[in-house]
């Protein structure tokens, strides 16, 4: 696993409007992550079948109003979110968060850089 400036968070906090999570990385870039996108991308064994890699979680079961009630660091490599639906078993490695922030979670309609 690659641990470098691109996958090391410098600052983690809410965006100005309080609706999304903002991660500023050591390489100077930032990721804006919608809580809903994060929740449906949960990589834990209850949301993704470990054997097949198939997603068990049904996005339609997650309310649009989902939000983290707590965020914990897991060592130096991941974040653990405690969600408002009570789900708390997902560890999100920083490189995974970085990938989600780069559009891996699907169209936000905001387009790319420049
Ligand atoms: Zn999960």
pLDDT value of residue 102:
87
Q: Is 87 contained in some domain?
A: yes
| CA 3 to centroid of ligand 1, rounded, Å | 23
Q: What are the Cα distances from residue 30, in Å, to 49, 61, 75, 77, 109?
A: 30, 29, 21, 17, 17
pLDDT value of residue 107:
42
Q: Is 48 contained in some domain?
A: yes
Q: Is 114 contained in some domain?
A: no
pLDDT value of residue 3:
75
Average pLDDT, the chain: 89
| CA 52 to centroid of ligand 1, rounded, Å | 15
Q: Is 37 contained in some domain?
A: yes
Spatial CA neighbour of 24 closest among 47, 1, 6: 6
Q: Is 49 contained in some domain?
A: yes
- Give the residue numbers spanning the domain of 56: 5-104
Q: Is 70 contained in some domain?
A: yes
Q: Is 110 contained in some domain?
A: no
Residue 10, C-beta contacts closer than 8 angstroms, at least 6 positions apart:
24, 25, 26
- How many domains are there within the chain? 1
62-114 tens-digit pLDDT: 999 999 999 999 999 999 999 999 999 999 999 999 999 987 544 444 444 43
CATH number at residue 50: 3.30.2020.30
Q: Is 111 contained in some domain?
A: no
| CA 30 to centroid of ligand 1, rounded, Å | 24
Band (pLDDT 50/70/90 cuts) for residue 1 is low
């Amino acid at each position: 696993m690659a641990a470098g400036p691109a996958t090391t968070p410098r600052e983690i906090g809410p965006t100005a409007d309080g609706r999304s999570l903002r991660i500023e990385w050591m390489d100077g870039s930032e990721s804006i992550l919608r809580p809903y996108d994060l929740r449906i991308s949960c990589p834990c064994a209850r949301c993704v079948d470990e054997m097949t890699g198939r997603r068990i979680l049904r996005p339609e079961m997650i309310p649009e109003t989902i939000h983290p009630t707590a965020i914990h660091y897991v060592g130096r490599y991941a974040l653990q979110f405690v969600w408002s639906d009570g789900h708390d078993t997902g560890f999100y490695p920083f490189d995974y968060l970085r990938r989600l922030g780069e559009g891996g979670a699907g169209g936000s309609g905001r387009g790319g850089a420049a």
